[in-house]
Amino acid sequence: MVQFTRFDPIRTLRIDRTVENVHLCHVAEWPRGLREGMEGSLAPYRGGRGVGFGDRGVLGRIPFSEMAYQGKKLINDPNAVVTEFIEGLVETYPGLQYLDGFPKIKVVLRADVVSATYDKVAVISGGGSGHEPAHAGFVGPGMLTAAICGDVFTSPPVDSILAGIRAVTGTKGCLLMVTNYTGDRLNFGLAAEQAKSEGYKVEMVVVGDDCALPPPRGIAGRRGLAGTILVNKVAGAAANAGLSLAEVAAEAKRASELVGTMGIALSVCTLPGQVTSDRLGPGLMELGLGIHGEPGAAVVDLQPVDVVVSHILKQILSAETQYVPITRGCRVVVMINGLGATPMMELMIAAGKAVPQLQVEHGLAVDRVYTGSFMTSLDMAGFSISIMKADAAILQHLDAPTSAPCWPVGTEGDRPPAKIPVPVPTSSSRNDERTFTEPKELNEQGHAMGIAIEAAANEIINLTEKLNEWDGKVGDGDCGSTMHRGAIAVLEDMKKCYPLNDAAETVNEIGASLRSVMGGTSGILYDIFCKAAYASLKGNQVITAKQWATALEASVAAVSKYGGAVAGYRTMLDALIPASKVLRERLDAGDDPLKAFLLSSEAALAGAESTKNMLAQAGRSTYVAAELLSSVPDPGAMAAATWYRAAALSVKNKLYPSESE
C-alpha cells in the first residue's frame, strides 16, 4: 500500500493515511517550507491540475481530477443544518415563526396568520432544503403563507406538508406551489388528497421551467428551477388581492407556462458532511447542471460570460423547443439567480450582458430585472437566467408589495436610461484635457515654484529604494515606487501644462498629476492635500508667506478630515503637522519667510524621524508588530518630509545663496 504523509497547516499535526482515505488539499494550503520542497514534483501538474506530496522525498502524485476532500462548512452537526437555519431565520425576521412539531416538522409560516380566521387563499410552497432563500425566505404578506422544509435535497414528508396546510388554510382554501421533482409531486400530492378528505379546499400547481435539456419523454417533465420564485410571487400577489382559489391557481398556472430557466455551474455543490465532487475540474463548466448537483446538458471549457449568457438566452428562447411562448416584440422580465457561491459582481456582469442581448439580438422589451440569489444549490458556483413573458397582469403581480424578507425591492414603470452624461466640471475643477500650458516667461513667483517643484520631485526619485526598503518592513513595500511614479509625472507635466506663474492652479495641477499615476490611498490623499491648498490660494495673483502657511494648514486639515489620521498616528501628517505649526509660529514671530520655511522643513524631518517611536493607527502598518515599527520611520512621513525639505533648500540655494539659515 502506498503511504502518503501530509502536514496539516493549521494544527501542525502529522496525519498518515493510505491513499484510499488520504485527506488531500490544494498545494496552496500547504506550509511554505513543504510546498517549496515539493517544487520539483509539481512540474507535471501545473495550473492547479495536480499536487505532489513529499516527506524527505516525493512518494507519489495524484492528479487533481481524482482529488476529493471533506467539504468545509461553517456548521455544527450536518444533520441539524436545516433546523438551525430555521431557528436563525425566525430570530432574524420577527414576522416569521415555525410550528410546534419542530424540528421533526419543519414548517415556516407567517406569524400573523391563523387558519381559523384567515380570509384569503393560503399559498404554500416548499421542498428540499439547501436552496435558500427558497422557499422559507419568501414567506410573508404578498407572497407565501408558509414554506415546508425538507432535509437537504430531500422532499419534505407528507406529515409536515399536512401540518402546514392545517396551520394556515382558512375557508378560501390553499394553493400548493410545487417544483417539478418526483418526490415533491408525490408528497405534496398525497398531502393534498389527505387534506381534501379532511374538508380543506386544496389545489396544486407544478412548476417545470428548465430549458437546458431536450424536451423530456414520459412523465418526468421539465425540472423546477428559479423561475418558480417568479411564479410564487404571482400566486402570492393574486391571493393577497382576494382572488378565489380557482382564480389564484389559474394565475399561477398561467405564469408557470410563461417562464423558462437555464443555468450554468462552475462547481458542483457539496452537501454538509460529504466529500467534494470531482466532476468539474479546472477550466470546465457545466451547462444545465441541476440544482441538486445532477448532471446537465454538457460539460464544456470555461467561456467568457458574454458567450455563456448568449448561449443561455438562445436556449431558453429557442423556436425549436418552444419552451416559452416568447417571440420578437414581446415584453419580458428577467431573473439572474446566483447558485450559492457566485459573487454579486459576477451576477451583475451577467445581468449587464443579458439585458442588451435580449433587446438587440432577440427584439424583446425588458420591463424588470431581478438580480441576486433566489434559489441556490448550497455552495455551487454559477448562475441561472429566467425569462418570463410579461403583460399588465404579470407586472401588476410582480410589482405588488410584499414583506417577504428575501424578495427584492423592485422599481415600477419604465426603466430610465442607464447612462447619463457626465456633469461638466466647473472652472475650478480639473479638466482632464489639461488646458494649461507652461508660461513662456516666468515671473519671480513662477521661477521659485519651478525650482521648488523640480527639487522636491528629484529628491523623491533619489529616495525611491530607501522608501521601498522601509515600507517592506512595515507595509507592502511599494511606497518608494508609488512616490517615484508621482515624481516622474510631476516633472513631465510641469514642462507641459503647469501654469507656474499662477501658484494656485499649479498646486491644483500637481494634485491631478499625482492622482492619475499614484493610485491607492496615497494618490487620493495627495490630491486632497493639493485641492485644499488650491481652494485656499485661488484668487491671489501673488502669494504671501502667510497665505502659503494658511494653505498648508488647510491641506493638513483636509487630509486629517478625510483620511482619519491625526498627529501620532504614524502617517505623513506626523511630518506635515510640525512643519505647519513651525511655519506659522516663525512667521507670526516676524521671522524672514525663507528662514521660517527652512525651520519648518527641519521640523518636518524631525517629525518623520519621531514616527519610529509611534504605534501605527492608520494604514497597513497597523497590522505590524511594534518591534518592527521601531526599527524604521514611517515611509509616508519620510517621503513628505523629504520633498518639503528639498523644496526649502532649493529655494535658499538657488534664489538666495548668500542667505544663511
131 is in an annotated binding site: yes
With contact defined as beta carbons under 8 Å apart, do 597 and 580 qualify?
no
Please name which of 508, 506, 462 lies closest in space to residue 484, comparing C-alpha atoms. 462
Is 292 a catalytic site residue?
yes
Q: Where are the beta strands (DSSP E) in 391-485?
A: none
Cα–Cα distance list, 34 to 29, 42, 406 (Å): 10, 12, 46
Please name which of 343, 191, 223, 236 lies closest in space to residue 293, comparing C-alpha atoms. 223
With contact defined as beta carbons under 8 Å apart, do 27 and 41 qualify?
no
Exposure string of 450-471, with b = 16+ CB inside 10 Å and e = fewer, is: bbbbbbbbbbbeebbebbbebb
3-state secondary structure of 517: helix
User: Can you tell me the distance from the alpha carbon of 212 to that of 189, in angstroms, rounded to the nearest whole number?
Assistant: 26
User: Which residues pair with residue 338 across a beta bridge?
Assistant: 383
Residue among 135, 292, 397, 484 flagged as catalytic: 292
Residue type, 323: Y
**DSSP sequence for 98-123:** E-TTTTTS-EEEETT--TTT--S-EE
With contact defined as beta carbons under 8 Å apart, do 356 and 320 qualify?
no
**DSSP sequence for 55-71:** SSSEEEEEEGGG---BP
**DSSP sequence for 376-397:** --TTB-EEEEEEEEE-HHHHHH
130 is in an annotated binding site: yes
Q: Hunting for cell 417577504 — which residue is that?
A: 404
329 is in an annotated binding site: no
User: Can you tell me the distance from the alpha carbon of 271 to that of 268, in angstroms, rounded to the nearest whole number?
Assistant: 10
Strand 122-129 and strand 146-152: the pairing is parallel
Cell digits for 547? Answer: 497665505
Give the list of residues 6+ apart from residue 218 with CB closer than 8 angstroms, or none: none
For the beta carbon of residue 120, count every other beta carbon within 10 angstroms. 22
For the beta carbon of residue 14, count every other beta carbon within 10 angstroms. 10
Strand 259-265 and strand 202-207: the pairing is unpaired
For residue 270, give the DSSP letter: -
User: Can you tell me the distance from the alpha carbon of 164 to that of 498, in angstroms, rounded to the nearest whole number?
Assistant: 75
Dihedral of alpha carbons 153, 335, 353, 391, sign: positive
User: Can you tell me the distance from the alpha carbon of 188 to that of 257, in angstroms, rounded to the nearest whole number?
Assistant: 20
256 is in an annotated binding site: no
Length, in residues, of the chain: 661
| 147 torsion bin: left (phi>0), alpha (psi -120 to 50), beta (else) | beta
502: Cα separation from own chain's centroid: 44
User: Can you tell me the distance from the alpha carbon of 391 to that of 475, in angstroms, rounded to the nearest whole number?
Assistant: 58
Cell digits for 552? Answer: 498648508
333: Cα separation from own chain's centroid: 24
563 is in an annotated binding site: no
Residues labelled catalytic: 292
Which residue ranges are tagged as binding site?
128-131, 184
Which residue ranges are tagged as binding site for substrate?
128-131, 184
